[in-house]
Amino acid sequence: MSESFEPPAAKAGARGGQFSDLGPRIGSAAALIATAVVALYVGGDAFALFWLLAGFAVSWEWQSIVGGKMALARFALGGASLAGATAFAAHGGGPAALVSLVFFSAILAILAGPGRRLWAPAGLLYAGSLIVSTNVLRHSSDYGALSIAWLFAVVWGTDVMAYFGGRLIGGPKLWPRVSPGKTWSGTLVGVASGALAGVGVVYLSRWSAAATLPLFFVGIVAAALAQAGDLFESWIKRRFGVKDSSRLIPGHGGVMDRVDGFIFASAFAAMLGGLRGQESLAAGIFIW
pLDDT digits (tens, 9 = 90+) for 3-28: 433 433 333 343 445 566 666 667 77
Phi, psi at residue 173, to the nearest 5°? -80, 145
C-alpha span between 117 and 110 (Å, rounded) = 7
Asked if 284 and 278 count as a contact pair (C-beta separation under 8 A), the reply is yes
C-alpha span between 268 and 247 (Å, rounded) = 28
For residue 273, what pLDDT band results from cuts at 50, 70 and 90?
Answer: very high
What pLDDT, on the 0 to 100 scale, is given for residue 248?
A: 73
Q: At what angle do helices 22-42 and 144-169 cross, to 10 degrees?
A: 170
Contacts of 256 (CB under 8 A, 6+ apart): 57, 58, 61, 62, 233, 245, 246
Measure Cα distances from 251 to 26, 68, 71, 238, 254 in Å: 12, 27, 25, 20, 9
C-alpha span between 70 and 165 (Å, rounded) = 43
Contacts of 90 (CB under 8 A, 6+ apart): 45, 47, 48, 135, 138, 139
Average pLDDT, the chain: 89
Where do the H-state alpha helices sit in 113-212?
119-139, 144-169, 184-203
For residue 241, what pLDDT band results from cuts at 50, 70 and 90?
Answer: confident
Mean pLDDT computed over 35-51: 96
What pLDDT, on the 0 to 100 scale, is given for residue 24?
A: 66
Greater confidence (209 vs 277) lies with: 209
Window from 16-30, 68-82, 166-180 with minimum mean pLDDT = 16-30
pLDDT at 251 over 60: no
C-alpha span between 273 and 4 (Å, rounded) = 30
- Burial grade of 88 (CB within 10 A; 0-12, 13-18, 19 or more): buried
What pLDDT, on the 0 to 100 scale, is given for residue 123?
A: 95
SS3 181: strand
What pLDDT, on the 0 to 100 scale, is given for residue 10?
A: 37
Query: What's this model's pTM, rounded to 2 decimal places?
Result: 0.88
Mean pLDDT computed over 209-214: 96
pLDDT at 149 over 90: yes
**Portion of the chain with pLDDT greater than 70, in percent:** 90
